[in-house]
Homo-oligomer: A and B are copies of this chain.
């Protein structure tokens, strides 16, 4: 694997390229000391509090050994590997799987795959659960239950359903088909795992769900899939190193944060579109959407002032969404920043053969490769957006491999942390999720939630006239 560096190209964020609705050099310069503060804010807390994730590239030597050894056994023993998890426990593993495995991995015959088939179950739709059970033999399946607290309703429901099925089939040996990934210190799952004797991996302190891909949450599934997890961590370390300057012009993640901050605060860009031009990176956009949306979407800042901060992340895919969303991006409101993820060299290519001599509007493609086509269309879309005065930027991967994907993960995590510091919010909590959780508990009449239940019952009844 080539240890190549990814790059951040922000030319088309600047008014020099994109016109009056772009960002002026002076605006970046005016923010440089605030950017420095954000950099030092993040740096000061490295490895402490909820910034445990910054150290993951450096402090997991033992964990990696344990993971590789467990993964080798799982690859040998099981036909299927199923992640039971939701949020960060699902989005990271899915993103890395899609980026680094064969695009039709599960459809390959076993000898070409090398590892088990892979499923990530991140919902409680009953039809989906039953559909999974229709296509796997649970006895030949390893289930990786991932929840830090062991109290995640969705994951624990799945766990209960699956463990009962396994017990029916395997009796006491059922425990060999379950691996737990959870907090080392507290919660239900760690207790359960100890009582039942599950193989267990630990989520380090200070690593929240959306920042957990580089800990065992993501590393175990990746290793089971045969992905080079050391290179993933090396890539993350390389990006961390690249972002070690307090000067935003020398720190790509800091510059990205500064530009998005200016875009949202001064240019009415309340939308951030993440648009990889690569099917392999499609689910990277999903992972980004949680990271960016849940970290920055906050009602109050650190002083307790109401700010209703946040930028809505949108996932798109090039070239596919040129035929769906680009009309809106080029002609609609000036309310968004578009971030391309570009790949210079794909892992394989195909040439468009001759055969369209009669059709000049098709014939020009003949003799070119699909790599040329996808990348030319990306450049053309970038050009069209820029000409229409729409801010856009690009992350460029020389190629997709574990090392560049590791960089990408760390880039966006650092950008998010810096941007949260610029907004002066708590980047690492999610207080807004509690409301819905408590309402669920109340609706299920869980003990202790009687007051919430009374509150819900007292809410105005729906007007039937408003249902048509």
Within 8 A of B (CB), among A285-326: 286, 289-290, 293-294, 296-299, 308-310, 312-315, 317, 319-320, 322-326
When the two chains form their complex, are residues A332 and B350 in contact, meaning their CB atoms are under 8 A apart? no
* Contact flag A335-B323 (CB < 8 Å), given A128-B103, A160-B356, A348-B126: no
Whether A139 is near chain B, meaning CB under 8 Å from some CB there, is no
Residues of chain B within 8 A (CB-CB) of A31 are none
- Interface membership of chain A positions 242-263, coded 1 if the CB is closer than 8 angstroms to chain B and 0 otherwise: 0000000111100100000000
For the complex formed, measure the closest distance between the CB of A174 and the CB atoms of chain B, giving whole angstroms: 12
For the complex formed, measure the closest distance between the CB of A290 and the CB atoms of chain B, giving whole angstroms: 4
Kindly specify which of A47-55, A57-65, A176-184, A425-433 makes contact with the partner chain: A425-433
Whether A347 is near chain B, meaning CB under 8 Å from some CB there, is yes
For the complex formed, measure the closest distance between the CB of A305 and the CB atoms of chain B, giving whole angstroms: 13
When the two chains form their complex, are residues A104 and B134 in contact, meaning their CB atoms are under 8 A apart? yes
* Contact flag A436-B330 (CB < 8 Å), given A124-B370, A348-B130, A374-B124: yes
Kindly specify which of A197-205, A218-226, A379-387 makes contact with the partner chain: A379-387
Within 8 A of B (CB), among A23-48: none
When the two chains form their complex, are residues B298 and A156 in contact, meaning their CB atoms are under 8 A apart? no
When the two chains form their complex, are residues B126 and A435 in contact, meaning their CB atoms are under 8 A apart? no
When the two chains form their complex, are residues A443 and B379 in contact, meaning their CB atoms are under 8 A apart? yes
Residues of chain B within 8 A (CB-CB) of A299 are 330-332
Residues of chain B within 8 A (CB-CB) of A441 are 364
Give the contacting residue for A161; candidates B14, B350, B359; CB below 8 A: B350
Interface residue count on the A side (C-beta < 8 Å):
155
Give the contacting residue for A432; candidates B298, B315, B331; CB below 8 A: B331
Which residue on chain B has the smallest CB distance to residue A163? Answer: B355
Bound-state CA distance A376–B456 (Å) is 13
Residues of chain B within 8 A (CB-CB) of A250 are 468
Bound-state CA distance A432–B443 (Å) is 47
Which residue on chain B has the smallest CB distance to residue A209? Answer: B323
For the complex formed, measure the closest distance between the CB of A398 and the CB atoms of chain B, giving whole angstroms: 13
For the complex formed, measure the closest distance between the CB of A362 and the CB atoms of chain B, giving whole angstroms: 5
Which residue on chain B has the smallest CB distance to residue A299? Answer: B331
Within 8 A of B (CB), among A327-378: 327-336, 346-356, 358-362, 364-366, 368-371, 373-374, 376-377
Residues of chain B within 8 A (CB-CB) of A156 are 356, 359, 362, 365
When the two chains form their complex, are residues A289 and B331 in contact, meaning their CB atoms are under 8 A apart? no
Give the contacting residue for A440; candidates B14, B377, B462; CB below 8 A: B377
Bound-state CA distance A50–B140 (Å) is 54
When the two chains form their complex, are residues A188 and B249 in contact, meaning their CB atoms are under 8 A apart? no
Bound-state CA distance A435–B329 (Å) is 12
When the two chains form their complex, are residues A433 and B373 in contact, meaning their CB atoms are under 8 A apart? no
Whether A70 is near chain B, meaning CB under 8 Å from some CB there, is no
Whether A108 is near chain B, meaning CB under 8 Å from some CB there, is yes
Kindly specify which of A5-13, A227-235, A413-421 makes contact with the partner chain: A5-13
Which residue on chain B has the smallest CB distance to residue A437? Answer: B380
When the two chains form their complex, are residues B436 and A466 in contact, meaning their CB atoms are under 8 A apart? no
Bound-state CA distance A249–B418 (Å) is 48
For this complex, 7 residue pairs linking A to B, each with C-beta atoms less than 8 Å apart, are A88-B323, A103-B131, A122-B320, A154-B319, A293-B327, A308-B334, A312-B312
